[in-house]
Structure 1
Amino acid sequence: MAGFREPTDVAALRTPLDAARLQSALCSREDAAFYTHVDVVEETGSTNADLLAVAPTGADRRVLLAEFQSGGRGRHSRTWNGVPSAQVIASVLLRLPGCPLSDLGWLPLIAGIATVDTVRSVGGVPAQLKWPNDVLVDGRKLAGILVEVASTSPEPTAVVGIGLNVTLTAGELPVPTATSLFLENASGLDRTVLAETLLTEFADRIRAWARAGWNTAGPAVAYRERCGTIGQNVRAVLPGDTELHGVAVDVDDQGRLVIRPDAGGEPVAVAAGDITHLRPA
């Protein structure tokens, strides 16, 4: 770990999210707020599942945050649970009229960009992205992102879920390879400030993407600048349980990880798979 703090230090830091401040800051901006409503609940099974359930009503740009999540899900249906008042657990219901369905895969990557920028600016922690959307600090997972498509007609609609570890202690980490802002000696641990900054960063990125006509070149440049996977020796476990070993050399404009195989041949663009960063030989 970058630093060490006694577990007893965290109690005073775990104050409730300021729902009124978040609603005011994110939904009442004079320059046309991006979000329509922000809800904060004490406990839920899954913020993503809750927003997926209301998607058929036509709701849009709604935010749901939970102090505690008991049935969260990650990629490949992996469980992901919370610790009360120790994380930023947020989901956004988003309609994207005009966005090509083939580009929806950029949503988790854009959410990753927003999360990294928030962690760096509020916490002063040098986070990076591990392709596609894990937020890491020195190889330890600080935040995870899960995007689920609610519908594709009449316009693409998705729920973007983000879980950021804020004041988890070493004994509360879900796995030994995780970390938290607290354990990384972050300069800012106020969850309301983190949530407000994160949601603002995400909104600004989506707005810019829409203004560019959903062109992915801009997000791709921003992603590459924050991606710690590029330049790494990696093992990719691809669909069908095939493996590819090589060096990650790029992330293309379609959001795919480009790997130069150790065995030689042309670089391979990977759209889906589990990536492991390997230590140099």
Structure 2
Amino acid sequence: MPASPEPDRPNLPLPHWLHTLDTCPSTNSWAHARAAKLHHGDAVFTKRQTSGRGQHGRTWHAPTGVLTVSFVLDNLNPNLLPGISLAAGLAVIYAIEDLVPDCRDMLRLKWPNDVWIDRQKLAGILCEAANGNALGKTRAVVGIGLNRCVDFAAAGLDAHAIGNAVSLHSIASKVPDELCLLASLRHYLLELADMFSTTDKPASKSGLALLLPELRRRDALIGYPVAIELSDKTICGEAAGIDGCGRLLIRLEGDRIQAFTSGRVRLI
């Protein structure tokens, strides 16, 4: 893919699908609020997100240098939506590895929505179902925060605040410009949307089914002792992979396997 200008470079046309904002509390919220005006494949990008949202109501810290964007995906099968966050994680991995050879085959998924390298968080994903566009199609807004060129110390964020994060510029010899990354992310997310669409496809060729081998290969947790924090308790065991519905499998005492659809997971 040829190098492209950054979104804020003057006098150069931007792609029709890209909506750029100088600042924004949350690109996901912005996309939800303007649902009727956005279309399949549109992206909302800002260099300064002030009130980003993460999973389970947590704050997503987005200091200068975080690539913050939300993509609109339409015509999705509502029955397949529970697996879309994991699929979006793979799309982020492929987009980065295409452009950053230094990272090739090194990126992993931490269930359900983080991209890791060497157990450090490089990107986070927040997928949210929406009411749909003017045509009533099922929609998802896929928010991505990618640590592209971030100086966490200068931003005043300690290790606890950033969750052991890492910036792409610290591990890559050359960092792609923002528009190039956005185009690559969009390319893979549109491929993903086709797999999750409402078209009549056999179960073996839709949703997570085609992605399971790669999801399992990229699983950052498998084989490690983990704790999953639920609303009322914490359960410890050994991560045993991801099932066909995108659920995290944990091996408990007595070699019993339990599947989880949500929860905050940490290595122990």
Alignment partners' CA distance in 2, 1:232 and 1:93: 34
CA contact (8 A) 1:170 1:183 kept: no
Residues 174, 254 of structure 1: CA spacing in aligned structure 2 closer, same or farther, 3 A cutoff?
Answer: farther
The aligned counterpart of 1:3 is: none
Alignment partners' CA distance in 1, 2:230 and 2:35: 31
**Aligned match for 1:91, one of 62, 70, 81:** 70
Letter in 2 for 1:178: A
**Aligned match for 1:221, one of 213, 218, 223:** 213
Letter in 1 for 2:236: H
Residues 136, 215 of structure 1: CA spacing in aligned structure 2 closer, same or farther, 3 A cutoff?
Answer: closer
The aligned counterpart of 2:137 is: 155
% identical aligned pairs: 28
> Shift of residue 111 of structure 1?
1.1
Alignment partners' CA distance in 1, 2:152 and 2:117: 15
The aligned counterpart of 1:82 is: 62
Letter in 1 for 2:66: Q
Letter in 1 for 2:151: T
> Shift of residue 276 of structure 1?
0.7
The aligned counterpart of 2:189 is: 202
The aligned counterpart of 2:41 is: 61
Alignment partners' CA distance in 2, 1:115 and 1:173: 27
**Aligned match for 1:136, one of 104, 112, 116:** 116
Residues 94, 205 of structure 1: CA spacing in aligned structure 2 closer, same or farther, 3 A cutoff?
Answer: closer
> Shift of residue 265 of structure 1?
4.3
Residues 160, 201 of structure 1: CA spacing in aligned structure 2 closer, same or farther, 3 A cutoff?
Answer: same
Q: Does 1:115 align with 2:123?
A: no
Q: Deviations over 1:107-126 (max 9, x none)?
A: 21111001112222222222
Alignment partners' CA distance in 2, 1:248 and 1:236: 10
**Aligned match for 1:188, one of 167, 175, 198:** 175
The aligned counterpart of 2:263 is: 273
Letter in 2 for 1:269: A
Q: Deviations over 1:159-202 (max 9, x none)?
A: 11001011102413744211110122353332222221111121
CA contact (8 A) 1:182 1:189 kept: no
Alignment partners' CA distance in 2, 1:191 and 1:203: 18
CA contact (8 A) 1:169 1:183 kept: no
Alignment partners' CA distance in 1, 2:8 and 2:158: 25
Letter in 1 for 2:123: A
Q: Deviations over 1:250-273 (max 9, x none)?
A: 200100011111x22420011111
The aligned counterpart of 1:30 is: none
Which residues of structure 1 form unaligned runs of 5+? Answer: 1-13, 28-36
> Shift of residue 133 of structure 1?
1.2
Letter in 2 for 1:158: A
Letter in 2 for 1:159: V
Stretch deviating more after TM superposition (252-261 or 49-58):
49-58
Alignment partners' CA distance in 2, 1:21 and 1:174: 35
> Shift of residue 94 of structure 1?
2.0
Q: Secondary structure at the match of 1:69?
A: coil
Q: Deviations over 1:138-159 (max 9, x none)?
A: 1111111111222279432221
Number of residue pairs the alignment of both structures matches: 248
Letter in 2 for 1:168: V
Letter in 2 for 1:130: K
Higher relative contact order (CA 8 A, sep 6+): 2
Residues 114, 67 of structure 1: CA spacing in aligned structure 2 closer, same or farther, 3 A cutoff?
Answer: same
Q: Deviations over 1:22-81 (max 9, x none)?
A: 51xxx6xxxxxxxxx221121111110011012245743321111111111111221224
Q: Does 1:250 align with 2:230?
A: no
CA contact (8 A) 2:66 2:145 kept: yes
CA contact (8 A) 1:59 1:93 kept: yes
Letter in 1 for 2:48: F
Alignment partners' CA distance in 2, 1:274 and 1:207: 29
**Aligned match for 1:264, one of 232, 248, 254:** 254
